[in-house]
Structure 1
Amino acid sequence: MNYSLSLLDEYRSLFPILQSKVHLAACSQGALSIHVKQATEKYVHSLMMEGTNWSEAIQNVEESKRKFAQLIGAEIDEIAVMTSVSDAISAIATSLSYDEGKNRIFTTDMDFPTVGHIWLAQRQNGAEIHFLPTKEDTIYPEHYERYLDGNTLLTSIADVSYYNGFKQDIAQISKIVHEKGSLLLVDAYQSAGHYPLHVKEMNIDILVTGTRKYLLGIPGIAFLYVKKELAETLTPRITGWLGQEAFASLDLHNLCYGAGTRRFETGTPSFISAYAASSALDLFLDIGVERISEHCRKLADFTVSYGVEKGLRPAGSLSSKQRGIMTAFYIDKAQEVEKSLRTKGILVSSRKDVIRMAPHFYNTTSDIEQAINEICKIQ
């Protein structure tokens, strides 16, 4: 597929919603391109006209895995397709052995609730769960130095906080975590697609993310990366026929896990979501995440500076190095403000007491000005 994307207008022209709305809610659901729409229509049309399209659909699943592997610098056999990030983390959590003396799981107070829920559910299997505390909406690398010890089995962290956009230094944390003898799991749902991720360079053991946010797909597909040498040591407790070595043989009586990370796959995935993911990933590979990140970083810096200029109070760090692309502002009655903005054609996302503004490569500073000006009128 050939994209001509030298100008911002050409980026924007791929997203029909931008003709009538200001879309700044990629932290919740990214805008859909015409190519993703065409991909999902292709899937539906194939079913309508052919009745079954298993081989073509499986090919799209494999293509989405290959493209995602390329995006993060992994190998395809280190990628599994899951239904959600919750599904992916649960697959890992239930495959670990929580032996006495090496059973501590560390996560943070800034992680999305599902992460805490999954790890807390492992206490019945012998896991000891600890939450790293925040200080001024920030987690400092020295917190990992202070709290992790030799009994830590795995450290589970978010690359970027879903709540306030706080960005962690994954490379630095990875070094600390591994020196403590712990595995590192990174939730990249709020960073994949607008921030370069190189799992080998960053020495990440496990990475999870989904396609519906910054990767500009739809719900139903998430990706699980597990370092090859680690995957082969893990035994899934949740499995299915597609996670078997020879799934096409339909062998009911023998359990033989697939090679690499594919062992964590279970049943038939959301095929329509795989078509969407494969199409969306084409765009990122053609443009380049580094180029996307540069544009989005400028938008994020502008969002903070213009918001402060207009009297809004950002949540979290003001340091550019400690912020992802998303910016959150403390807003009274945030959910009501979000609904009011939607009636004006401005899409943002509220969480608790903040309004989150998450631009992507299709956004402009004018979009941000319009959203902030409207917020100030409502407040």
Structure 2
Amino acid sequence: MEHLPQRYRQLFPTLQTHTVLASCSQSALAEPVSRAIKDYHDSLLLMGTNWNEAIEKTESARNEFAKLIGAEPNEIAIVPSVSDVLVTVASSLSGFRKKHVVYTEMDFPAVSHVWQAQSDYTVSVIPVIDGGLHLKQYEKDITDETVLTCVPHVHYRDGFVQDVKAIAEMAKKKGSLLFVDAYQSAGHIPIDVKEWGVDMLAAGTRKYLLGIPGMAFLYVRKELADALKPKSSAWFGRNGFDAAYATGARRFQTGTPAFISVYAAALALSLLNHIGVSRIRDHVKTICSDARQYAAEKGLQLAAQAGRQPGLVAIRDERASETAALLKKKKVICAPWDTLLRLAPHFYNTKDELRHAIDEIAAVFSAR
């Protein structure tokens, strides 16, 4: 699969001078995406207004994300961030009799922040056991009183991938809705919301989706969306200036989107769909497998067992932020988190780049 980076690396100017392995935090910026951002700027600078064009770009981004996850465009809402999504989703469930919510220790901290702030709900937190989450834990903690189960598709710390379809089947048996945080998977792991039986799914644009901050997407299954009435909804979630909710997931929208991020997302998603996420998955999985083996040979300690993190190489380091700062001086960009150095490649990265980063990490460790 090395032909992928050979074919597309020229689209990413940063790769000419840096080794960029931080897609779990911020992917490298593609030159066509940069041009799309400039197009937004220039349209204001030279024409004074670009409302109609921006609305067209918004619909293009919506359509491309729907294609990426196997959804219909009317099942996609354009939102500011995944954190905003969680607040809006919480507000939409107030009419349900059931008031129990389940989430996991693998969820991004924002999930806990939102649900702990909801005084009307009781929560259960599924713990991590032996570095993972197990289906029997979901079976125990999801009850007949659970209104929503929140799960990450991929763990932000070490790349642990969950079987979303199996969890969805279990949640459905208990009468619980399923919300999936796909921020760490969308763009490099194939997603099929219909096949998996997902009720809601959210992802932002700045990581593996090749975009910039300020924009995210929310999928809501069409049969569910029209039954929900989010309290956090405004004119972009209504039928024009009418007070009535828009149909489908659009009712979860609030105000004017960050159009500059929309321009970037429309182009970036088009590029990902053109390449194909299955091809990206295969390439990333191959070079990460090689990197984990190489890191072990160098005596580095990995955060999880081989095979459980196909798209991420997480190396244990008590001084991860310090190491990352030293690597940055050597033009190697990774994503530290707490006591982990995360190497997160994309389709534009090569096996040799990952090995180079591991060599530099080993050199830092040896110098201590």
The match for 2:65 is 68
- Quote how far apart the aligned CAs of 1:97 are: 2.2
Letter in 2 for 1:118: V
For 2:310 and 2:358, locate their aligned partners in 1 and report how far apart those are by CA, in whole Å.
18
Does 2:275 correspond to 1:317? no
Kept after mapping to 2: 8 A contact 1:136/1:316: no
Structure 1, unaligned runs of 5 or more: none
- Quote how far apart the aligned CAs of 1:34 are: 0.8
Letter in 1 for 2:285: R
For 1:7 and 1:226, locate their aligned partners in 2 and report how far apart those are by CA, in whole Å.
32
For 2:7 and 2:228, locate their aligned partners in 1 and report how far apart those are by CA, in whole Å.
45
Percent identity, please: 45
1:186-220, Cα deviation, whole Å (9 max, x unpaired): 00000000000000001100000011000100111
Name the SS for the 1:81 alignment partner. Answer: strand
Kept after mapping to 2: 8 A contact 1:310/1:376: yes
- Quote how far apart the aligned CAs of 1:93 are: 1.1
Q: CA RMSD in A?
A: 1.3
The match for 1:186 is 180
For 2:181 and 2:187, locate their aligned partners in 1 and report how far apart those are by CA, in whole Å.
13
1:306-331, Cα deviation, whole Å (9 max, x unpaired): 1111111111232x2x3240121111
Kept after mapping to 1: 8 A contact 2:105/2:126: yes
1:259-300, Cα deviation, whole Å (9 max, x unpaired): 100001111110010000000011111111111111011012
1:58-85, Cα deviation, whole Å (9 max, x unpaired): 1101100011001111000000000111
Name the SS for the 2:195 alignment partner. Answer: coil
Name the SS for the 1:106 alignment partner. Answer: strand
Question: Which residue, 314, 318, 326 being the options, matches 1:332?
Answer: 318
For 2:4 and 2:162, locate their aligned partners in 1 and report how far apart those are by CA, in whole Å.
31
Kept after mapping to 1: 8 A contact 2:212/2:264: yes
The match for 1:307 is 295
Letter in 1 for 2:281: S
The match for 2:92 is 95
The match for 2:282 is 294
1:209-266, Cα deviation, whole Å (9 max, x unpaired): 0110001001111000000011111111111111111x1xx45xxx211010000111
Kept after mapping to 1: 8 A contact 2:4/2:347: no
Kept after mapping to 2: 8 A contact 1:79/1:225: yes
Kept after mapping to 2: 8 A contact 1:83/1:220: yes
Does 2:147 correspond to 1:153? yes
The match for 1:107 is 103
The 10-residue stretch of structure 1 (213-222 or 309-318) with the greater mean CA deviation from structure 2: 309-318
For 2:4 and 2:123, locate their aligned partners in 1 and report how far apart those are by CA, in whole Å.
49
Aligned residues: 364
The 10-residue stretch of structure 1 (352-361 or 325-334) with the greater mean CA deviation from structure 2: 325-334
- Quote how far apart the aligned CAs of 1:7 are: 5.1
The 10-residue stretch of structure 1 (68-77 or 90-99) with the greater mean CA deviation from structure 2: 90-99
For 2:361 and 2:21, locate their aligned partners in 1 and report how far apart those are by CA, in whole Å.
13
Does 2:258 correspond to 1:267? no
1:23-70, Cα deviation, whole Å (9 max, x unpaired): 000000011111001101111110011101000001101100011001
Kept after mapping to 1: 8 A contact 2:205/2:265: yes
- Quote how far apart the aligned CAs of 1:98 are: 6.6
For 2:166 and 2:72, locate their aligned partners in 1 and report how far apart those are by CA, in whole Å.
23
For 2:4 and 2:288, locate their aligned partners in 1 and report how far apart those are by CA, in whole Å.
19
Q: Please list every run of at least 4 consecutive aligned residues from structure 1 whose deviation after the TM superposition is greater than 4 angstroms.
A: none
Letter in 2 for 1:340: L
Q: TM-score, normalised by structure 2?
A: 0.97
Letter in 1 for 2:106: M
1:104-158, Cα deviation, whole Å (9 max, x unpaired): 1000011110011111111x2x211110011112101111112211011110000
